[in-house]
């Protein structure tokens, strides 16, 4: 199969990407820092660092714990706040990156989500808004918005009232029924879904007899979660009727193809970037060879075939 004739392009709710590979939020900053390593215009898109209304320093140190097949992090949404992102980060990002941008928005109340999404929706650089519903709801007893069908539906409904861009909801896997949560988001107006966010994990330093991470627990990611992510993407993609961005433990071009066969239209790469800053570039470079080997002429042909 001629590699020059292979079609790597995909479409997310009308937003055209030259390929399906997207660095996941929190693992690539605002992109321009990575432009020192390679031409980041090769990427399909970038989901930039999770942004909240106010600037956040994040959680106390230490924030990271190593695991055999992944890592645990509890960074705590460190970011300069929505106004600084719009005024300072987006212009610098656009200088280095000329493909569609995904804005990852987080919040601790519905009002905060609405305010941040309304502001970022006005920015021409942003093509898609990715709603992180894994934040604790300060007005709901501290439970994550994304662990309840009612709360995820409520926040999506309110955000959709103030935006014009496609809205993708990033789902937490720390639930008993991922399909029910996905359906609630879609019924409330979500244009697409992204999953999975990190799983909840913990490590203990057996010498000091204390948790490794100051916050005790954190988000577990890396190759170990890949089979869980594939399973959840498959369930949601075949049950919810909207495009899905697959995420969780992706490290190779073969992983991208497997995730797309499960039902993902595009694929986010997270922890792999922290291990190898060239991870996304290497995956993109390898995709045509993997497609040729498997007899795939167009990636859209394999979306959800399993």
Annotated active-site positions, please?
135
Tokens of 18: 């030259």
């Amino acid at each position: 199969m001629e590699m020059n004739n292979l079609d790597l392009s995909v479409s997310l709710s009308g937003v055209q990407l030259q390929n399906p590979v997207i660095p996941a939020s929190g693992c690539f900053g605002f992109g321009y820092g990575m432009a020192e390593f390679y031409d980041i215009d090769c990427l399909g898109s970038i989901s930039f660092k999770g942004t909240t209304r106010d600037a956040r320093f994040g959680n106390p140190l230490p924030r990271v714990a190593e695991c055999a097949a992944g890592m645990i992090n509890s960074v705590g949404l460190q970011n300069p706040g929505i106004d600084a992102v719009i005024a300072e980060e987006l212009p610098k990002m656009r200088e280095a990156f000329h493909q569609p941008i995904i804005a990852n928005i987080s919040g601790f109340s519905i009002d905060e989500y609405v305010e941040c999404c309304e502001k970022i929706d006005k920015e021409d650089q942003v093509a898609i808004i990715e709603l992180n519903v894994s934040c604790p709801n300060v007005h709901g007893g501290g439970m994550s918005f994304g662990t309840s069908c009612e709360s995820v539906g409520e926040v999506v409904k309110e955000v959709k009232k103030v935006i014009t861009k496609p809205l993708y909801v990033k789902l937490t896997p720390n639930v008993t029924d991922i399909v029910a949560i996905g359906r609630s988001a879609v019924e409330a107006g979500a244009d697409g879904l992204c999953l999975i966010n990190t799983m909840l994990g913990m490590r203990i330093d057996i010498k000091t007899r204390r948790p490794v991470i100051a916050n005790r627990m954190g988000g577990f990611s890396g190759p170990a979660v890949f089979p869980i992510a594939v399973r959840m993407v498959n369930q949601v993609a075949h049950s919810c009727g909207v495009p899905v961005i697959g995420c969780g433990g992706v490290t190779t071009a073969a992983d991208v193809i497997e995730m797309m066969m499960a039902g993902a239209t595009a694929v986010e790469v997270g922890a792999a970037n922290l291990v190898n800053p060239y991870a996304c570039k290497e995956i993109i470079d390898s995709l045509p060879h993997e497609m040729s080997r498997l007899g795939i002429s167009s990636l859209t042909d394999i979306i959800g075939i399993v």
